[in-house]
Amino acid sequence: MFTKKSQKSFKPLIDGVLMKPLVHEEKSLLCEFLLKKGYSLPAHKHPYEQTGYLISGKLNFRIDSDWYSAEPGDSWCVPENVEHEVIVLEESVAVEVFIPVREEYLKI
């Protein structure tokens, strides 16, 4: 599958977090996230492996019991069913891959 940049718009996922699914195939999904300063993604886990790359901004990111300060150019991988959370320190843009596809994200 190939998707042009302007084909989809951002939709609210939770307060302070906008998400746009970019492209997917049978086993993986690529999404772009706009994260608003001062918001957070609460502690959660899911049955998806999640790999990300921070394009701009700054985040405090917890994976399991370890905290990381994420800056542009940093990347992460969260194994399936591992608790994680994010505190947004600056307006941020990130892209993430989910395996398998998060079908609920395709409906947003």
Say if residues 34 and 9 touch (Cβ distance below 8 Å).
no
The DSSP-derived string for 46-99 is -SSEEEEEEEEEEEEEEETTEEEEE-TT-EEEE-TT--EEEEEEEEEEEEEEEE
Note the pLDDT tens digit of each residue in 1-48.
787 776 778 999 999 999 999 999 999 999 999 999 999 999 999 999
Domains assigned to the chain: 12-99 (2.60.120.10)
Q: What is the spatial distance between Cα 33 and Cα 96, in angstroms, rounded to a whole number?
A: 8
Residue with tokens 């892209």: 95
Q: For 34-85, how does the pLDDT look when each residue is reduced to its tens digit (9 = 90+)? A: 999 999 999 999 999 999 999 999 999 999 999 999 999 999 999 999 999 9
